[in-house]
Each structure stands twice: as structure tokens, then as C-alpha cells.
Amino acid sequence: MADSKADAVPTFTIIQADGLYPDDTVEQQIFAPRPGQNYKLDFVSTGLWPTGTPQSKPWSAIPEELRNRIDGIMVLKIGFTESDVELFPKLKVIVRMGVGYDRLDRPALAKKGVIVCNVPDYGTAEIADHAIGLMLSMRRGILLHNERQRATPPDPWMPIETPLVARLQKSTFGVFGLGRIGTAAALRAKAFGFKVLFYDPYLPNGVDKSLDIERTKDIKELFRRSNVLSLHSPCTRETRNLIGYELLSLLPKGAVLVNTSRGEVLNLDGVEQCLRENIISGAALDVVPIEPIPEDNVHSLIQAYRNKEPWLEGRMVLTCHTAFYSPESFVDIRVKSCETLRDVLIDGDALQVEDGSCRHRQRLSLHFPRYAPRADGNGLIRPSVHTNANNLSTGRAYAIHTSLTMAAAALDLTRNFSFYTVPAAWVVAIAPHFYAASLGKFDNKSPRTYTKESTKDQSIDKATKEKIVRAEGAQQNGFENLGLFAAAVVAGNIVRLDNWTLNALSGGYLLSRVAYNLIYINNTTDAMANARSVAYLTGVGIIFTLFIKAGNVLRGQL
């Protein structure tokens, strides 16, 4: 919220960066104050990359006076770098108007306390339909026959024998990344009679059973068995440039490749080599690594496609990142982006936070946005996303009240802090000892005999002596469990449990130990003794939960 005097009406300044729409009717309606709210709205469409223009203007093209008061940004196509962050001193939220968020420098934004959101649930049907359409244009030879009938002279009126064309039924449709779109594509392929096989290491067990499809936990097996391979993963550190010749060469001879996810996932050198060596019969791409395609640096595969080189005839189709588009989906992305920005900036309610991963959809009284990488590979990630993000699918996280969320971002609690709880647990364990030392006549020359000597000291009253004994007992108990807790945290991080789980459990353990210390030291009744046992068992239960969750993940990967 923009700065204002105590009695002034606050103003939210929000921009749509690209300049996608002819008016702001939708935005004004969604951002308008609701009953009981009193604020002003300054909404601006800055027109940095209007539809139909080849490239965007820089963020610095926005007047400085406007940049200095912007609270929220909605952006579709333009990247956002660390240097761009410095141009917006009051920025609180940026919404990527789409699923992918790899063009936003999320670590830089997190350092500035800026919350990053995305819109993962628009255009799912359109993209899945597009993937199936691309597959059919290849696998049924539609594109090849169309081109041959337009030749001069046209081909004879008869089918062309080519490895491209094959019966769909009983062949295998491989899905790399079973998120919303991957699932929708898998169900469509299944309806065509394909045997569907998918790879997504971060999905829970049983997803394959609910969809009646097959799962593989070996990425190489996915490639070895897929007659059609459809890519549906986000671009993360883990997946960027992952799919190249080494994996593509494992595909069955004559396979077809489809990519409607992110161009950076796929290495075009590997695609071209596999096409030239006839390992794959066709490639259908809606996305490429660099968009728009730079005219001064066109990849050789794309250049061959444009030049209509004979070796590539009918074997490649290229659409310009249009899989998401329909008039209806374009409305959805506009409305959902506005609603998401309103939720976090104005209402502080439910939001789709993407910090790289997160992926567990929950309604909580407070949910700090987090980096939960899994597929992101950021080591933070998830989302959900959930990844968990950080898996290959995407998901949701929820929060309440903007001020609390901003405070969390300012403290950088978006990251995995579970390792920090280990030294914190050491401090909590040693604290009762220092408390005990403050009560009696502590002698550092003989610290181990201190408790015994204190109980004999007639100058110390009985109640204080009992507190000293209990405090030292609390310290001993804390260190007895510290090693096991540290091992559980390490185990959870090794298997990449999502950050929300790691943070919640490790933070919960700290709270249980603090409660244990306080109750133990002040224990004077049977009820307090029982409460102490509950606090102790809660901590032990959290440790076991971490080990069990880590074990379940490890078992699923073996």
C-alpha cells in the first residue's frame, strides 16, 4: 500500500505491464473496494509489450514517478531481473499471468520482500487439446500429406509410407510431468486408446491408480517405451535443458516428440540430431528456448524448417506459443490474475504463491509463501506448485492478511530454514542450564558438581533448589534428543521434503522443546507433569514423523 498519512485514504497503485487489453473495465471492477473497504485505486496499463509488437520496452520506460509508487504488477511476457527490482522501491506483489515463472528472478524478488504469484489453472484444456492436436498432425501424417498435395505437381492420390504414421491404439503415450495439463493430456490420450505412461518423481503414490495409467520411476524407461512423448514440466534448475540427445536417443525408432511446456526444457541440438538420424520421426513444438525467435540467431533446426528443407518435410510443426490461447482462456487469465493480485495485495486472503515450488493446497490461518523447489531444484523449493513447483506439476499456497505476509517475506521466511532449527534446538537445550546457574552459586571451576552442591547449600531455599534440579534435568533431556532431531532434519532435506513440511515440523519441534523446558522447570503438580510428558512426546513424534516421511519418499524412489 502506498505511503499515506494516518487519516488519509490509502491508495493502491497497480499496473498491467504488457498492454494487452483495449480498456480496463475488468480490472476496475475486480479491484474496486468492497463493502466495508475504503481505499483508492490507481490502475495503469503501461504498454511495454502490446500484442503484435516484436519486442518489449524496458521497465525503465515507465515514468519514474509512477514506478516509485507501484504496489502490484501483472505481467504476461516480460522478464523481471534483479536490476529491474531496484526500479520499483514499493513493489509488494508481482503476478505472472500464466503458469511458468522462470523469467522472474525470484531470489532477487524475495530479498526485497516481493511476493511472486502465478495463475496455474487457466488454459488447461486448451494446452492439453493443443498437445493432442500436434500429436495427431504428426502421427496421422496430416501435415506431410497436406504439404505433398500442395506440391507442383501434387503427389499421387494415395497414402505415403512413412514411419510417422502409425496406429494409435496400443502404442504408448509418454507424459513427462503429470500436473494439471499433463493429467488432462494423459486422459485425452487414453481416450484415443493409447497406453499412457508417465514420469513425475514428486507426485504421491497412487496417482496412477486413480487415473488408471502406468507410472515409471525411471526417466530412461519413460523414453525407452514412449512412441509419443509429450512434455508437461515447468522450467526449473532441475529440468532446464534436461532433455537432449542422451535421453531422446532412447526413444523407440519412429517416435514423435511433442512440447507444449517450456522451451528451455528441451535441447534443440538433440532434437535436430535425432531427426537427422531418424531416431524420431517427427517433432511438434509450441515453445522454443528463446522467444520470440531472434532473427539474428536462428537455430539450425528452425532455419531448416523455415527453408522447407526436404529432409524435414512433414516431420516438424512449429506453433508460436499459442497452445494456451482461446478467447475464453484469455478472459480467464485476465480475471484470475486480477483476483490473485487483489487477494494478496488488497484483501490479504487466499493466493497462488509461486516461489519456485510450492505445492500443497491448504487453507491456513497463516501460511508463509515458501521456496519449495523439488522440480525447481533450487534446494529451497514447490511449488506446489507443488513444484512439489517443486515437482513437475504446480500447486497452491494460502495466506491471510497482507501485513503478515509482507513481514514473512521481509524476514525471508520463504526459504527452507529447517537446518537453522538444529543450532536453535541446541540453544533451547542449553538454556535451562544457564537459568539454573542464575539461581544458585554457580562455580565454573566445578560445573558438574554444581547441582549437587546447590542442593546442600543451606542459603538456597527449597523451592529454588528444586528448580535448579529440574532445570538441569531439562537440559539433559534436551541434549539426549538433539542428535536424533538433527538426523531427522538431515534426512528430510536429503530426500527433498517440501519446505512447508520441513519448516513446520522443525519449527514445531522447537516449540515443543520450549514448552517442555518451561513446564518441567515450573512443575509443581501432577497436571503439569502430564503436560510435560505431552510436550516431550510431541517432540519425539515430530522426529519420527520426519523420519517416516523421508522414508516414504526414499521408498518411492527405489
DSSP string, 476-529: HHHHHHHHHHHHHHHHHHHTT--HHHHHHHHHHHHHHHHHHHHHHHT--SHHHH
Would you say 395 and 401 are in contact if contact means Cβ atoms under 8 Å apart? no
Q: CA triplet 256, 258, 260: central angle to 5 degrees?
A: 175
**Sheet hosting strand 214-215, strand order edge to edge:** 214-215, 195-199, 172-176, 228-231, 255-259, 280-285, 316-318
CA distance 109 to 101: 12
Cell digits for 145?
500429406
DSSP string, 94-110: EEESSS--TTB-HHHHH
Phi-psi region of 47 (alpha: psi -120 to 50; beta: other; left: phi over 0): left
The values of phi and psi at residue 204, to 5°, are -70, 160
DSSP string, 533-544: HHHHHHHHHHHH
Report helix, strand or coil for 435.
helix
CA distance 410 to 114: 8
* Catalytic center residues: 262, 291, 321
CA distance 192 to 207: 20
**Cα torsion angle, 210, 213, 214, 216, sign:** negative
